[in-house]
Amino acid sequence: MKLAAGILSAILASGSLMARDLPVDVQAKFIRFLATSTNSPGRINCRDAALATELAKVGVTANPGGKLAWATSEAEVKALRAAGQLVVCGHTEWMGAGATIAIVEEDGRPQIYLHMGNLAGSGVTPSYSLLKIAKRI
């Protein structure tokens, strides 16, 4: 719980930035929380070099074998979903393409959206703390 509270505090302190514009160090901390919350601690499939560098600083390895994957385009969402990974992105509109979690700015604060249908199809059971703070679609 302390980890989740600390990460959320860092995210909320970022102000009114759009999720895709969040500093990569904040994204990395948020993704670390998501990886832990989806029982994939320490690993995420991430092809973004800057984000992968920041993830390494918080103890998360950019690993294609991880259950969780960060997508930077709608095409990547589709490909990662087809590969059976739980996809995280910065756009709620990509959830229709298969993303399970979206980190977006809402009322000046980052917000997590969780697509319950995509989650059910992923075979991943999220932690209670993720379910508690996420808005469900």
Rg, the chain, Cα only: 13
As for how many domains the chain has, the answer is 1
Look up the CATH number of the domain holding residue 118: 3.40.50
Q: What is the pLDDT of residue 22?
A: 64
Q: What is the pLDDT of residue 42?
A: 80
Spell out the residues 6+ positions from residue 4 whose beta carbon is closer than 8 angstroms to its own: 33, 37, 129, 133
Please tell me what DSSP assigns to residue 132.
Answer: H
Per-residue pLDDT of the chain (137 residues; tens, 9 = 90+): 444 444 444 443 433 334 445 677 877 888 888 888 887 778 889 988 998 999 999 998 888 877 889 999 999 999 999 988 899 988 899 999 999 998 877 777 778 899 999 998 787 888 888 889 899 98
The domain of 29 spans: 2-136
Q: What is the pLDDT of residue 24?
A: 76
